Amino acid sequence: MNAAEILTSKNKFHIKLGLERMEIILKAFNNPENSFECIHIAGTNGKGSTCTIMEKILLEDKRKVIGKYTSPHLFSYTERISVNGENISEVELNQIISLVNKKDAELNLGLTEFEILTTAAFIYFKKKNVDIAILETGLGGRLDATNVIKKPLISVITSVSFDHKERLGDTIEKIAFEKAGILKKGSICTFLKTNNGFETLKNEAIKKGAIFIEDDLDVIVENNIAKINGEDFEFNLNGDFQKENLKLALLAINSLDFKIKKETIKNALKNVSWRFRMDKINYKGKNLLIDSCHNPDGARVLAEYLKKYEKNKKIKFIFGCLKNKEYEKILDTIYKPEFDFCFYEFNYPNALKYENLDEKYKNKIREIKNPMFEIEQNDYELCILAGSIYMLGKIFKDKI
């Protein structure tokens, strides 16, 4: 079997939190996670953007070999593991995943998809002599597979809001506690005072003996301009909300033991990109806004962006998500009666079905079977595609 077949097989494709299995499998491979330093990132929203901003700055600096491990992916598992901005090849991914899967069977561990991938990323980073790996947690933090890292260069926690309540808890405090599990004694950490879980995060940092970096940056983002301590920088990520991710990325970068020039940061911010996160593209002459808003807080950010930057436009909205998401709260936030609002039931395990929508939404939303047909029509000024990143990947695979 190739990597994708192994990772999506029924006995792998599920969530099973805990670190014991990871510790055993990594020991079997001589602990590759100890061969590089890392920046560790947890949070509900904003992890991917924060990772990508940091990666772009470090790559622009050119002094270190940089690895990045993120999830989920759009089109291929290879997107999750990269070194110096280049994704792992299909051949190398297949080889390493097969190797890990074989060792898993020998040890009878029953590793999950994410545990196998995380192990593969660490093995690959060691092979490529990575200096610094930027690691994004998959779920939570305390029991996430990436949390085998003993002492990160810096731990970063992005926004804390409701998602995966069945696993992380039903209050902001419980969720923040799980995210704070990545904080380590003697390691630097940062998170913003505006974060919903700030008090819990700060208390956990004190308990663990982590070194908290105070937010000393003034950052404003508007119209793709980032004003940092009063100075303007071109910034290629859409959405005013990116100021929080940018601020965290800069705080982390500034905490490193080597100074990065202002010009380096300027070039990085001008060219940074993160696909399908408030991503405006022109597709065959059509104006699209693609955003993987998959929880209520993501929906709030999208709604605020539309209200500020896209008002008075004729909008077609295509939405789809997984059934374990709080889709009612998401729809309450992003639905507008003036939109041509559509629901797409995409082919994916646990995708929300149209028939399971509450009746109040069925009366307002029309079901579609072919999103590309809808995109190709001339009945809108802006087409928004939002929801599950898995849906977006399926719609645009081999198209853009």
Question: How many C-beta atoms lie closer than 10 Å to residue 20's C-beta?
Answer: 9
Confidence at residue 216, expressed as pLDDT on a 0 to 100 scale: 87
> Is the domain of 298 the same as that of 250?
no
pLDDT exceeds 80 at position 10: no
> Is the domain of 236 the same as that of 125?
yes
Query: Mean pLDDT, the chain, as a whole number?
Result: 95
Structural domain that includes position 385? 279-396
CATH of the domain at 291: 3.90.190.20
pTM: 0.94
Determine what percent of the chain is predicted with pLDDT higher than 70: 100
C-alpha distances in Å from residue 190, one per residue of 52, 60, 70: 17, 23, 19
> Is the domain of 201 the same as that of 78?
yes
> Is the domain of 219 the same as that of 284?
no
> Is the domain of 99 the same as that of 215?
yes
For residue 399, what pLDDT band results from cuts at 50, 70 and 90? confident
Confidence at residue 184, expressed as pLDDT on a 0 to 100 scale: 97
For residue 182, what pLDDT band results from cuts at 50, 70 and 90? very high
> Is the domain of 164 the same as that of 189?
yes
> Is the domain of 254 the same as that of 294?
no
CATH of the domain at 153: 3.40.1190.10
What single string gives the DSSP state of each residue in 102-121? Answer: HHHHHHT----HHHHHHHHH
Angstrom distance (rounded) from CA 386 to CA 256: 36
> Is the domain of 265 the same as that of 301?
no
CA 166 to chain centroid, in Å, comes to 20
Q: How many domains does the chain have?
A: 2
Last residue of a domain, one of 236, 271, 306: 271
Last residue of a domain, one of 271, 301, 320: 271
For residue 294, what pLDDT band results from cuts at 50, 70 and 90? confident
The answer to whether the CB of 48 falls within 8 A of the CB of 112 is no
pLDDT digits (tens, 9 = 90+) for 115-131: 999 999 999 999 999 99
pLDDT exceeds 80 at position 354: yes
Confidence at residue 14, expressed as pLDDT on a 0 to 100 scale: 75
> Is the domain of 101 the same as that of 153?
yes
Confidence at residue 162, expressed as pLDDT on a 0 to 100 scale: 84
> Is the domain of 52 the same as that of 72?
yes
Last residue of a domain, one of 271, 295, 315: 271
Residue, of 166 and 386, whose pLDDT is higher: 386
> Is the domain of 30 the same as that of 116?
yes
> Is the domain of 232 the same as that of 320?
no
What's the mean pLDDT in 175-189? 96
pLDDT digits (tens, 9 = 90+) for 145-175: 999 999 999 999 999 988 878 878 889 999 9
Angstrom distance (rounded) from CA 35 to CA 348: 37
Angstrom distance (rounded) from CA 289 to CA 315: 10
Residue, of 284 and 11, whose pLDDT is higher: 284
